[in-house]
Amino acid sequence: MCYWMNERKPTKIRIIGSVASGKTTLAKQLSQTFHIPMYELDNVVWERQQSGDIRRTDQEREACLHTIVDSHSWIIEGVHNEGWVNNTFKEADIIIFLDTSYSIRQYRIVKRFVLQLLRLEQSNYTPTFKIFFKMFKWNKQFEQNGKPNFKKNFHFYSDKTVYITKSQQRKSLLTLINKDM
């Protein structure tokens, strides 16, 4: 049964989707609405430093994620669906899968890059052409591997997974959640 049918506000929300699917935007909206801390999985993988990002070791990454998952409430967003993030799906009250169309994601990658170059949008990384082209690669990999992998490996959470393919569905979900608060 979905969390809103239990008439309780979700306190642990997991958002998954490809690059440029809208994960961070939705996570920020939910975080502000529910007053729940938001975490980006990229910031669990990478330790952000002024001198440059440092990839955490597997042990550091898992310890960092464990601390988040064990907390009272969280919104975790990220593309990852490998073994090290299994507990984020298990412990979530709701899993939101942003299945934005491939062409819209491609457009958003370009838009994001231009806005970052113009310093109109912030990022956790330095926008370079190398990263820009990698985003297209990651987007394709998610479409070919990440999405099927999630559906295959996490189908047993279907009772708490919501698939969002259009912005109107996202608005409807937000309305539903807010209605039950």
Residue 78 lies in a domain: yes
Residue 113, CB half-sphere, CA atoms under 13 Å: how many? 16
Total tally of structural domains belonging to the chain: 1
How confident is the model at residue 139, as a pLDDT? 96
Side chain identity at residue 159, one-letter code:
D
Which pLDDT does position 180 carry in this prediction?
53
* Residue 85 binned pLDDT confidence (cut-offs 50, 70, 90): very high
115-125 pLDDT, tens per residue? Answer: 999 999 998 88
pLDDT digits (tens, 9 = 90+) for 50-69: 888 899 999 999 999 999 99
Domain extent for 101: 3-176
User: Is residue 181 situated within a structural domain?
Assistant: no
**Count of Cβ atoms closer than 10 Å to residue 122 Cβ:** 7
| 91 within some domain | yes
Residue 176: predicted pLDDT: 65
Query: Which pTM value belongs to this model?
Result: 0.89
**How far apart are alpha carbons 42 and 35 in whole angstroms?**
21
Taking CA atoms, 18 is separated from 32, 104, 123, 141, in Å, by: 22, 11, 16, 9
